[in-house]
Amino acid sequence: MLIKSATKFIENSHSAAAMIACLENQHGSSTTSSSSASAADPAASSLEPYATDFGGMVRAVPTAVIRPSTVDEVAAAIRFAASNGLTVAARGNGHSIHGQASAAGGLVLDMRGLSGPIQLVAGEYADVPAGALWEEVLEWAAAEHGLSPASWTDYLGLTVGGTLSNGGVSGQAFRHGPQVANVGLLEVVTGDGERHLCSPQSEDADLFFSVLGGLGQFGVITRAWIRLLPAPDMVKWIRVVYNDFACYSSDAESLVSRAGPNSFDYVEGFAFVNSHDPVNGFGSVPLDQARHSFDPTHVPPNSGPLLYCLEVALHYVDAVDAVDQRTAEMLQRLRYIRGLEFYAHVPYIDFLTRVKRAEVEARANGSWHTPHPWLNILVSASDIVDFDREIFRKILRHGIGGPMLVYPMLRRKWDERMSVALPEGEIFYLVALLRFALPQPVGPTVEEMLAENRAVVDRCRSAGFDFKLYIPHYRDQTQWRAHFGEKGWRRFADRKARYDPAGILAPGQLIFSPETTPASPAVSSRH
């Protein structure tokens, strides 16, 4: 009855406050705090769009969807849920993979309603609503102020609150840290419906660090101060190719370890198939197919099944000749295959929005709407050469039908007080297997891709690699405990008890439920 009534109401609702009032009437509960009216999302004519995500592998239908436009509406929705035994999931732009932002039978908060305006703070921070997309932050910062956030993700069609709840990494992370390391202040609504302003220096500093990388378990981020830097005009974007992974990884680690005025501003890379494979082969490397093509005769004949592309970029406002001279000197030290260099000079904004162009193509060919059984792993540098031998060159030797990213980051750029679980090594790699399931009979099935993902993780475990899943997905608390380790798990569980004692937030992560949330530290210490 509740689901049917809520669905009907969504189709005709004009405010999140009215939506909550309708649900209260269904539950017969007392009135919550009222909040200002906000326009209902016209696309939310049914619950079905909120039952799935970008991964396309999980379907979890909520009882209702609320599109808050203010922090008061977020707080009212959470208080209502806590009073009525409902779970709550904050959903950004729907780009989770395994239903992490879902709430089967609960409430979904469509955070895109919290998307404006953005304010400049003291010339160095953007005060951003959590539902804003990073591409919207870029447009505001660069166009209006000549500024730019310091750290990015590769794809900018993600919400600020979403990436801060996970980590937020790209090729700038070695220099500036992940997005979670570039936040000055947060506004958070905890699981009891209370609003908090927190920063590293505030009384609520523990909450600040808890929600950064906290997978939505401790509170809903509603605003964030994002650190800004002057935006450059142009980028020289370079790709060079290796056939020896040890040389590739050594050069990449050297570049990220000497971050300074004579280093690149961006360092990433990927593995690709040593063939003319249309997705993962030679053609995936050149930046401008019209100007440069991949000449496979440069590849040494003794090369293995995979090659490796180191991707770097240097920001500049100088003349092109000056930046060309700088990059030539910087590349001279690297041990890539001469003759397999590719470059392009592009505007800074075009560089940052490069994946948007791939999105347009994927939407056109239909692959954007197919399942995406992605796997992201953080692997310690001490194990990355063995990872290449055991996984890239064996399990994944034929490619995966999508990008296979592999590039290093520095542990010291992450604050250990945050909730993200990291490998122990000072240098670790992001390995991102970004699969696209094409309509049958083209390519492997989703089940086959997931089985290969499991084989990768199982091999990491059996080989004793120092690794963690990034944007993790586990099925039960035993696996989550192993993910965090005993010390990390105790801290994570204590934070859950402190900030979401009813266990109602982010049920789609499958970490806690109202039945499994631990007692608060204050309570448990008395027994």
Tokens of 104: 């089967």
Tokens 């959470």 belong to which residue?
A: 78
Q: Is 301 exposed, middle or buried (0-12, 13-18, 19+ CB in 10 A)?
A: exposed
- For helices 71-83 and 16-27, angle between their N-to-C axes, nearest 10 degrees: 10
Cis peptide before 117 (omega within 30 of 0): yes
Eight-class DSSP state of 412: G
95 is catalytic: yes
**Phi first, then psi: what are they for 383, rounded to 5°?**
-115, 0
> Do the beta carbons of residue 212 and residue 501 sit within 8 Å?
no
The active-site residue out of 154, 192, 359, 415 is: 154
The active-site residue out of 53, 73, 95, 315 is: 95
Eight-class DSSP state of 485: H
Q: Pick the closest to residue 64 from 82, 51, 74 (CA basis).
A: 51
**Contact partners, residue 13, CB within 8 Å, separation at least 6:** 19, 22, 40
Please report which residue ranges of 40-133 form alpha helices under DSSP H.
71-83
**Contact partners, residue 62, CB within 8 Å, separation at least 6:** 47, 50, 51, 89, 102, 103, 104, 105, 106, 107, 108
The active-site residue out of 41, 244, 268, 311 is: 268
154 is catalytic: yes
Rounded CA-CA distance 196/414 in Å is: 23
Rounded CA-CA distance 223/330 in Å is: 40
268 is catalytic: yes
Laid out side by side, the sheet with 306-316 consists of: 341-347, 234-242, 306-316, 266-273, 404-410, 427-433, 375-380, 467-469
Residue type, 122: A
Tokens of 312: 């770097």
Extended strands (E) in 260-340: 266-273, 306-316
Cis peptide before 200 (omega within 30 of 0): no
> Do the beta carbons of residue 97 and residue 57 sit within 8 Å?
yes
Beta bridge partners of 311: 239, 268
Enumerate the active-site residues.
95, 154, 268
